[in-house]
Amino acid sequence: MPWEMDVARYYFDIRHGTDLLRDDEGAEFDSLDAAIRGTARSAAEIGTDRLARGDLSDVVIEVRNEHDQRVVTVTASMKIERHELSSPPPDLGQA
């Protein structure tokens, strides 16, 4: 009998503020860890697309299993901090 790998279907709902884009198709993965890695890559890609439009909001993807149970939430965030510039340091090389 050939070896068969168990696969499970996971669904990836994207949350944007109070809006939720529910995934009704899902995708099959051979493990939850593989689904998490794929979700993290997707969150990074979505974040990159949003950044190009000037949207710095968090990317939140909620992963559900075949029983409609939320099993993990992946969040990708970008934080930009501006720092006030102080006066340039004095030139200590002059005598």
pLDDT at 1 over 50: no
pLDDT at 50 over 60: yes
Q: Which residues contact 16 (CB under 8 A, 6 or more apart)?
A: 57, 60
Looking at residue 31, the DSSP 8-state letter turns out to be S
The residue whose two tokens read 């909001």 is 57
Nearest one of 31, 57, 32 to 43, comparing CA atoms: 57
Q: What is the mean pLDDT of residues 85-90?
A: 78
Q: What is the mean pLDDT of residues 71-77?
A: 97
- The tens digit of pLDDT for each residue in 10-41 reads 999 999 989 999 999 999 999 999 999 999 99
Evaluate whether 58 touches 34 at the Cβ level (below 8 Å): no
Nearest one of 26, 28, 23, 25 to 8, comparing CA atoms: 28
Q: What is the mean pLDDT of residues 41-58?
A: 95
- Give the start-to-end residue ranges of the domains of the chain: 15-76
pTM over 0.75: yes
